[in-house]
Structure 1
Amino acid sequence: METTPPRFLIVGPAWIGDMVLAQSLFMFLKQRDSGCTVDVLAPAWSLPLLARMPEVDEAIISPFRHGELRLGERLRLGRQLRARQYDRAIVLPNSLKSALVPCAARARVRTGYLGELRYGLLNDIRRLDKSKPPRTVDRFVALALAPDAPLPEIPTPRIRADADKARSALARQGRGLPAAPVLGLCPGAEYGPAKRWPAEYYADLAKAKLAQGWEVWLFGSDQDTGVTGAIQSMTEKRCLDLGGKTTLEEAIDLLSLTTAVVTNDSGLMHVAAALDRQVIALYGSSDPRHTPPLSEEAAVLYLGLSCSPCFKRECPLHHLRCLREIVPQRVLETLAANDGKIQETRYK
């Protein structure tokens, strides 16, 4: 008897990095059954990112801000989705609110971790053993498996860039395609200052690579203009400061033109890794065992001090040694050690 391919509704996470990691789940579902449908309920900001993931059949806008209940609207959205007859919903966030839409949509199986006591909303509740598996990406993929099933080989996120849009984005900045290697710097981290390598260290790194004939591009959101502007000032405005000047879509395309990227543990770190750039990831208050960049081209610098990972937004000891003791010279040496992997990007 012929069976209909399953229809999945994935409730996506609220952070850029986690959404990149969620692509491994989307890829796994498609690898297991190429005919399945994978729809993702996600914040509007994530649509340009999801559009670069070929495994996503449709991105459905979740109009709710972080922390908003808006119970009636969530239930209405769920009822609107009932006609899609989802076989299974996989709820990646742990909040009670995130489970409301799949329940109202009457997805037949609704899977997620227990989180905020979501009995009744989820009918396939998993209890998370935080000791295993440690990586966020493993926890995401595990929700697609039977309970206690061994993890498969985890697909590596790979998002697509658009070369034509990258050229257009550069043209809006008064630039053409780079003729030299490009070092991308991502000095922001939305979570807080305890995840940010010092701006003066980024500036020292930029000056060293500029002296070697590289271009240096500074990436960041509207919230990062202070730090990108400070680095630009410390380098006598010799970088291309893109802080607050690009959309997420443009940042993805421009990151694809870089040769190497040095970055805090941030959403753009995961974007750069998924673009298969050479990534040097700097970890302070967070733990690379949980959210490492998923790329063979990535190197992680993490001191593992007795006080870290603390997972705090600001250093509770007021010294930030976990990042300050990763000096620019060490980053330069890591970049140099990987020079053999760097292939100059050719443009047609």
Structure 2
Amino acid sequence: MMTPAVCSLRRRFPKAEIFVLAKPWVVPVFEALPYVDRILVYDKAGRHRGMAGFIRLVLDLRTFRFDAAILFQNAFEAAFIAALSGIPMRIGYSTDGRGILLTHRPPLFPRSRKIHQVDYYLGILKGVGIPDTCRKLCLSIGDRETEKARYILDRYGIRRSDTLVGINPGAAYGPAKQWPSDRFAALGDRIQEAFGTKILIFGGSADRSLGVRIRQSMRYPAVNLAGKTDLSEAMALIRECRLFITNDSGLMHVASALKVPLVAIFGSTDPEATGPWGYRGRILESKISCSPCLEPECPLGHLQCMTRITTDAVFEAAKALL
């Protein structure tokens, strides 16, 4: 969701070298951004593990003699790294007790005002006089990734003429963001029955068993890709889909950025803050008194914000987009 901010930064400083410091799992997102010159990997499990690795990271960053650091992440660590790296201009919201480490502190939005995360990131730039000249999510899938996606589909017997519908049953934050798996299975069967599509099940390594469970619960065949692709492959495969049905998740934002029509199912989180930006599709949510609670697990134990969203409702939303 920070891609419009990176785009706006590039438009304001067209000749600047823009580096991104990112953890390994998210690197493919920035590789798909045409505005980034170089990605530096923060590998806490490898080169930057432990205190010695942290010092190595700081020394690595010092060699580049950066002029400024824009800290989109609200974390003390991000500001601490930038300060130790000798970066003279450190811009970010004064959160997590890090204000003393920042040289420029854009004003925070009032808690009473609901804003989308995209605007939250753009607010950092606007707070230091950089206009939000770009407000669209942007990802670019290269030829190599497209070829890899086609190879994966060929391996599963998917023809180029097949209509693909992706379902994404996982969500990293917790089970309160996950629509029931048996409903994803029933939905996949109904869509195949009605439209003759092929169903692709997406997910990361933590979703392997979830993908297996959904696949085994379905009456019709589906291709279970959960835990079997890296992020760059998943992004390229999502672009091949006619429709993407998903919980509130990172892959939801990928589909939105790639302009793939989507149905987004929301439970404990707030679509006004983290919903698909500029999406082509529908948001489904059940407005009950305790939602959005923003909790990873339902504190009341009933998960009605999700269970009240029926298979029929999601099917009708999907039907309207196919």
TM over 0.5: yes
Q: 2 CA distance for matches of 1:89 and 1:274?
A: 25
Equivalent residue of 1:316, what SS? coil
Percent identity over the alignment is 30
> Matches of residues 231-270 of structure 1 in structure 2 within 5 Å?
231-236=214-219, 238-270=221-253
Query: Which letter does structure 2 place at the counterpart of 1:87?
Result: D
Q: 2 CA distance for matches of 1:81 and 1:219?
A: 35
- The alignment status of 1:42 with 2:25, answered yes or no, reads no
Match 1:281 to one of 255, 264, 270: 264
Residue in 2 that maps onto 1:297: 280
Equivalent residue of 1:120, what SS? helix
- The alignment status of 1:131 with 2:112, answered yes or no, reads yes
Q: 1 CA distance for matches of 2:317 and 2:262?
A: 10
Equivalent residue of 2:125, what SS? coil
Q: 2 CA distance for matches of 1:73 and 1:128?
A: 33
> Matches of residues 34-113 of structure 1 in structure 2 within 5 Å?
34-64=14-44, 70=50, 73-113=53-93
Structure-2-length-normalised TM-score: 0.91
Residue in 2 that maps onto 1:142: 123
Deviation track 1:123-162 (CA, whole Å, cap 9, x = no partner) reads: 1123523334621111111111235x69736521121223
> Matches of residues 153-192 of structure 1 in structure 2 within 5 Å?
154-161=134-141, 162-171=145-154, 173-192=155-174
Equivalent residue of 1:290, what SS? helix
Native 8 Å contact 1:48 1:249 kept in 2: yes
Residue in 1 that maps onto 2:197: 214
Task: Kindly report the root-mean-square deviation, in angstroms, between the aligned alpha carbons of the 2 structures.
Answer: 2.1
Q: 2 CA distance for matches of 1:280 and 1:176?
A: 23
Native 8 Å contact 1:43 1:62 kept in 2: yes
Native 8 Å contact 2:201 2:222 kept in 1: yes
- Which one has a larger percent helix, Structure 1 or Structure 2? 2
Residue in 1 that maps onto 2:211: 228
Residue in 2 that maps onto 1:17: none
Flag the 1:154–1:298 CA change in 2: closer, same or farther, 3 A: farther
Q: 2 CA distance for matches of 1:93 and 1:70?
A: 21
Runs of 4+ in 1 over 6 A off after TM superposition: none
Deviation track 1:207-244 (CA, whole Å, cap 9, x = no partner) reads: 11111201110001121122211211111360001111
Gapped runs of 5+ residues in structure 1?
Answer: 1-20, 340-348
Equivalent residue of 1:306, what SS? coil
Q: How far off is 1:79 after superposition?
A: 3.3
Residue in 2 that maps onto 1:203: 185
Gapped runs of 5+ residues in structure 2?
Answer: none
Native 8 Å contact 1:283 1:323 kept in 2: yes
| Greater alpha carbon shift after TM alignment, 213-222 vs 292-301 | 292-301
Native 8 Å contact 2:11 2:133 kept in 1: no
Q: 2 CA distance for matches of 1:133 and 1:285?
A: 16
Query: Which letter does structure 1 place at the counterpart of 2:87?
Result: A
For these two proteins, the number of residue pairs brought into alignment is 315
Deviation track 1:106-131 (CA, whole Å, cap 9, x = no partner) reads: 22210111122113321112352333
Equivalent residue of 2:25, what SS? helix
Residue in 2 that maps onto 1:116: 96
